[in-house]
Every structure is written in C-alpha cells, then in structure tokens.
Structure 1
Amino acid sequence: MLNTQEILDRMSEKGLRITDQRRTLAKLFAETDGYLSPKDVYEYMGRQYSGLSFDTVYRNLRVMHELGVLEQIVFEDGMKFRVHCAAGEHHHHMICLQCEKTYPIHFCPMPMTDVPGSFQVVKHKFEVFGYCETCQREDHPLKSGGNE
C-alpha cells in the first residue's frame, strides 16, 4: 500500500495543490487498513476542519481516485475507497464481504473474455466478492445463501 508521502508525491506530480486537508486525507488513507465510505471520511475530516462540506470531501475522493491514488469499489452498501496498492503490476482483487480484507489476483482475466472484434476496451475492473476463511467460521446469514 502507498504511504502518506507516496500519496502526496503522486498528487503533487499530477499538479494537485497539497493543502492541509489533502495531507490529512493522505494520512487517513495511508493509515487505514481497509475501505472508507465518503461518509466515514466526511465525519473524520469534519472533526478537524469545521465548515467542511460533504461535496468538498467527495470531490477530493473522486480526484484522488482519478489520479490513481485511491481505489474505488462498489459494495452492496455503497461506494468505498482505499489507498491504491503500491504494486506496480496490473492486478485485481478478491474482497471479503464481511471484514473487507482484500487479496490480490496476480493475473488478469481480461484476455479470457469474449470481446467482440468491433469493441475497443479502454479500461476494465474485476473484483471477486466472497468470505475469507476467518469470516466463514463466523455466523453470517449471507454465507450460506440465506437472505435474512
């Protein structure tokens, strides 16, 4: 995972002005093991910066995602972000639906897809959702296919 300085360096290299709020965001994501919703980030930032709007937080999350600093994943309960992997090679993830632990998939399944000859792929995402070994042992209604 990227550390705080690596996040700030990437943001600066892309021409983004490094403000105190952006330093705080970089530190928050570098020190968080897992995913944060925009609401989580807004509540955290709001404790330090009075008058901060949700729109400002969300806009910064989107910019950081577009710069490749944050990864964005859509869970059943909404969109969440986490710091981008430091690994330089292209890869995808398996994500636990309960604890949100993330495991890398060290190959890309894209070459195995049946893309029509007239379709030009410009980017793709591939995530696999399930339950890690630890969470499988815990009592979770969705593990067994239940819908409670």
Structure 2
Amino acid sequence: MLSTDQIIGVMSSQGLRITDQRKTLAKLFAETEGYLTPKDVYDYMCKKYSGLSFDTVYRNLRVMEELGVIEQIVFEDGLKFRGGCSEAQHHHHMICLQCEKTYPIHFCPMSLADTPEQFQVVKHKFEVFGYCKDCQASKQESTDAQQHG
C-alpha cells in the first residue's frame, strides 16, 4: 500500500493544496489495512475536526480516488475505500467477502474484451469476489457445528 508521504506527494504533484485534513486522510488510508466506508472516514475525521461536513469528506474521497491514491470498491453492502496499491504495474484484485483480504491478480482481462471500434476505453476495473482459505475454513466449521449442534 502507498505510504502517507506517497499519497501526499501524488496529491501535491497534481496541484492539490495539502491541508491538515488531507494529511490526516492520507495517514488514515496509509495505516488502515482494510476497507473503509465513507461513514467510517467521516466518523474518524469528525473526532479531529469539529464541524466538518460529510460532503467535504466525500468530495476528498472522490478526488483521492480519481488521483489513484485510494481505491473504490462496490461491495454488496455499499461503497468502500482503501489505500492504493504501491505496485507500479497495472493489476486487479480478488477480494474476500468475509474478511475483505485482498489478493492481486497480475493478469488484465481487458485485452480479451470485445470492445467495439466506436468505443474508447479510458478506465476499467476488474474485481473477483469470493472467500479466502481462512474464511472458507471458518464457514465450514460453523456449518459443521450447526449440523452437529
């Protein structure tokens, strides 16, 4: 994942003013392993900055996502964000639906897409959702316990 300094560096290089709030957001995403909902981020930020609006927080999340320093994923229970990957090469992710652990996919399926000539692709995402080995085991254990309980 990107470090606080890397996130701030990208934002600064793109002309964003680096406020205390943006530094705090950069640190939050650099130091958080998993995904955060916009409400999680808002609640965290309100502890440090009273009177902060949800719109301001959400607008900053959008800007940070557009710059590629955080990633946005749509889960079944809504939109979540996490710090951007520090890997320089383009890749996609497999994401566990239970623990939200994320694994890189080093293959991009875009070359296999049947893109019509009259369509110009400017951005794409590819995510695979499932259950990691640990969560599969815990699901199996709880199923076994229910059957024998």
TM-score for the superposition, normalised by structure 1: 0.91
Aligned positions, number: 141
Please state if 1:17 is matched with 2:22. Answer: no
Q: Secondary structure at the match of 1:116?
A: coil
The runs of at least 4 consecutive aligned structure 1 residues that moved more than 3 Å come to none
Match of 1:146 in 2: none
Alignment gaps of 5+ in structure 1: 144-148
Q: Secondary structure at the match of 1:95?
A: strand
Provide, for residues 6-39 of structure 1, a one-character-per-residue CA deviation record: whole Å limited to 9, x for no partner.
1001100000001111111000000000110000
Please state if 1:33 is matched with 2:33. Answer: yes
**Aligned Cα root-mean-square deviation (Å):** 1.4
Give the number of the structure whose alpha-carbon radius of gyration is greater: 2
Whole-Å separation in 1 of the counterparts to 2:117 and 2:13: 37
Please state if 1:138 is matched with 2:142. Answer: no
Match of 2:4 in 1: 4
Match of 2:86 in 1: 86
Higher helix share: 2
Please state if 1:57 is matched with 2:54. Answer: no
Match of 2:107 in 1: 107
Whole-Å separation in 2 of the counterparts to 1:43 and 1:128: 29
Alignment gaps of 5+ in structure 2: 144-149
Q: Which segment is superposed worse, 104-113 or 118-127?
A: 118-127
Whole-Å separation in 2 of the counterparts to 1:119 and 1:21: 39
**Which amino acid in structure 1 is aligned with residue 32 of structure 2?**
T
Q: Secondary structure at the match of 1:139?
A: helix
Whole-Å separation in 1 of the counterparts to 2:135 and 2:35: 17
